[in-house]
Amino acid sequence: MTSATRRRADAERNIEAILDAALTRLGRDPSASMTEIARAAGVGRVTLYGHFPSREALVDTLFDRSLADADAVLGAVDVDAGRADEALARLVRSSWRVLDRQRTVLTVALRVLGPERVRDRHAGVLARVERLLRRGRDEGVFTAAAPPGWQVTAVYTLMHAAALEVDEGRLDAADAAETLVSTILGALGGGPPGSGR
Amino acid sequence: MTSATRRRADAERNIEAILDAALTRLGRDPSASMTEIARAAGVGRVTLYGHFPSREALVDTLFDRSLADADAVLGAVDVDAGRADEALARLVRSSWRVLDRQRTVLTVALRVLGPERVRDRHAGVLARVERLLRRGRDEGVFTAAAPPGWQVTAVYTLMHAAALEVDEGRLDAADAAETLVSTILGALGGGPPGSGR
């Protein structure tokens, strides 16, 4: 191993340790300082600031990774096959799996980056939802009486509300996916798949 | 008029001017300072701090007033008459009227007080919703498959999401009430009143 390779491996290990520590510390206390994060990661402040100039930059990177996770999982869902409400149910179940494991990142991102930036960064994810909603509206599976932009917001809002409810112990994580599917399909004027409307 | 009466009248006028200025300034820029608010209200900093020790205290008072408005309006809705879904539609329409005129207060409160405190302060309003939801579940008008706490959250979340959508020009204020009624009744497993489920 050359010394350049070794330095790169060290840097990568430090970055992972910093991101792990940031998630744990900020998840417990959203106002945790960079000094506390450096200590928890077992690195010096100079190393920490060398990789991340601010708490925001740190949270940005954590959030980017969670969105990449979402993108990979949702990209594997076939949203063009079958009825639009059944496809949406699949998309909601897959989204929930990602959201559930990224709940702490979401909570931290909402606090540090703010709800507007969190929503803006979901544009790619929400474009998938909107495409499917439009198909469902065209097929008469979802109501066309409400604006499509509102329907996208309803899906986004209900999913994130469920994540916060689970976080605060008001909703059981095991039931959340099916509760979300039926709430969301109902909100879109759908109802459960196969209910023979 | 005695001088004590005059002083009280002056104080009340100042408080109203400060609250008006705070709402306007903070609505435009949530980081507006106490100095800017004093200037916009036409009062000195000493007078401002005499009435409100902090931006938070100011926003707290604005938010208290908007909740009192909500309480008065919602208290006048008869939630015990007729079918639960029709009663909920009335409650949503009345809530929306308050929410629409208190939109700026809500936006400012979310930013200055944070979403948890805003939600906690809605306990009184949400107790009305929950009582009605439980009646609807008992009557079989709303689904009993989802936890009642989640259904309360869905109603709260969708209403507040609609306020933000109107704020950002993504939803037409004139259509918002009926869009909300159908989205919320759908989410609860209802559907529009009289749809003959």
Chain B residue whose CA is closest to A189: B186
Residue B47 and residue B121 share a domain: no
Chain-chain contact of A183 with B154 (C-beta, under 8 angstroms): yes
A112-139 pLDDT per residue, tens: 888 889 999 999 999 999 999 999 999 9
pLDDT-above-70 percentage for chain A: 95
Give the list of residues 6+ apart from residue B104 with CB closer than 8 angstroms, or none: B23, B27
**Which residue, B163, B166, B34, is CA-closest to B95?**
B163
Q: What is the CATH number of the domain that holds B22?
A: 1.10.10
Distance (Å) from the C-alpha of residue B13 to the closest C-alpha of chain A?
Answer: 35
Q: What is the CATH number of the domain that holds A107?
A: 1.10.357.10
Chain B environment of A119 (Cβ under 8 Å): none
Residue A63 and residue A14 share a domain: no
pLDDT of residue A3: 87
Residue A89 and residue A66 share a domain: yes
Residue A47: count other Cβ atoms within 10 Å of its Cβ: 18
Contact (CB, 8 A) for B182 and B85: no
Give the list of residues 6+ apart from residue B123 with CB closer than 8 angstroms, or none: none
* Candidates A130, A155, A183, partner chain B, best to mutate (most B CBs within 10 A): A183
Last residue of a domain, one of B31, B53, B75: B53
pLDDT of residue A2: 82
pLDDT at B196 over 70: no
Contact (CB, 8 A) for A111 and A28: no
Residue A196 and residue A131 share a domain: yes
Last residue of a domain, one of A34, A53, A72: A53
Residue B194 and residue B115 share a domain: yes
Distance (Å) from the C-alpha of residue A61 to the closest C-alpha of chain B?
Answer: 23
Q: Stretch B18-24: mean pLDDT, rounded?
A: 94
Residue A110 and residue A23 share a domain: no
Residue A96 and residue A192 share a domain: yes
**Coil/strand/helix, residue B81:** coil
Chain A residue whose CA is closest to B180: A146
Distance (Å) from the C-alpha of residue B147 to the closest C-alpha of chain A?
Answer: 8
B64-95 pLDDT per residue, tens: 999 999 999 999 999 999 999 999 999 999 99
Sequence length of chain A is 197
**Which residue, A148, A118, A121, A153, is CA-closest to A136?**
A148
Residue A47 and residue A66 share a domain: no
pLDDT class of B191 with cuts at 50, 70, 90: very low
- 3-state DSSP helix/strand/coil % of chain B, to nearest 5: 75, 0, 25
pLDDT of residue B116: 87
pLDDT class of B17 with cuts at 50, 70, 90: very high
pLDDT at B118 over 90: yes
Residue A108 and residue A150 share a domain: yes
**Coil/strand/helix, residue A30:** coil
Chain A environment of B147 (Cβ under 8 Å): 170-172, 175, 179
pLDDT class of B169 with cuts at 50, 70, 90: confident
- The residues of A whose Cβ lies within 8 A of any Cβ of B are 110, 115, 143, 145-147, 149-150, 153-154, 157-158, 161-162, 165, 170-172, 175, 179, 182-184, 186-191
Of B143, B154, B186, the CB nearest to A161: B154
pLDDT class of B112 with cuts at 50, 70, 90: confident
Of B147, B182, B191, the CB nearest to A146: B182
Chain-chain contact of A154 with B182 (C-beta, under 8 angstroms): no
**Coil/strand/helix, residue B102:** coil
What domain range includes position A17? 1-53
A43-97 pLDDT per residue, tens: 999 999 999 999 999 999 999 999 999 999 999 999 999 999 999 999 999 999 9
Chain-chain contact of B170 with A149 (C-beta, under 8 angstroms): yes
Contact (CB, 8 A) for B143 and B192: no
pLDDT at A194 over 70: no
pLDDT at A186 over 60: yes
Chain A environment of B165 (Cβ under 8 Å): 149-150, 153
**Which residue, A142, A45, A162, is CA-closest to A96?**
A162
Distance (Å) from the C-alpha of residue A43 to the closest C-alpha of chain B?
Answer: 32
Lowest mean pLDDT among A11-15, A131-135, B166-170: B166-170
pLDDT of residue A1: 67
Chain-chain contact of B187 with A184 (C-beta, under 8 angstroms): yes
Chain-chain contact of A162 with B175 (C-beta, under 8 angstroms): no
Of A150, A165, A188, the CB nearest to B165: A150
**Residue the block writes with tokens 């474009």:** A127
Mean model confidence pLDDT for chain A: 90
pLDDT of residue A30: 80
Interface A-B, measured as beta-carbon pairs within 8 A, has a size of 87
pLDDT of residue B3: 87
pLDDT at B194 over 50: no
Q: Distance of CA B140 to CAs A11, A68, B102, B136, Å?
A: 60, 42, 34, 6
pLDDT class of B174 with cuts at 50, 70, 90: confident
Number of domains in chain A: 2
Residue B147: count other Cβ atoms within 10 Å of its Cβ: 16
- The residues of B whose Cβ lies within 8 A of any Cβ of A are 110, 115, 143, 145-147, 149-150, 153-154, 157-158, 161-162, 165, 170-172, 175, 179, 182-184, 186-191
Side-chain-side CA neighbours of A94 within 13 Å: the count stands at 20
Chain-chain contact of A187 with B189 (C-beta, under 8 angstroms): no
pLDDT at A191 over 50: no
What is the 3-class SS of A124-190, one letter each residue? HHHHHHHHHHHHHHHCCCCCCCCCHHHHHHHHHHHHHHHHHHHHCCCCCHHHHHHHHHHHHHHHCCC
pLDDT of residue B12: 92
Q: Stretch A15-36: mean pLDDT, rounded?
A: 92
Residue A121 and residue A196 share a domain: yes
pLDDT at B192 over 50: no
Residue B22 and residue B63 share a domain: no
Q: Distance of CA A104 to CAs A29, B18, B160, Å?
A: 11, 39, 23
pLDDT of residue B115: 86
Chain-chain contact of B182 with A147 (C-beta, under 8 angstroms): no
Residue B73 and residue B32 share a domain: no
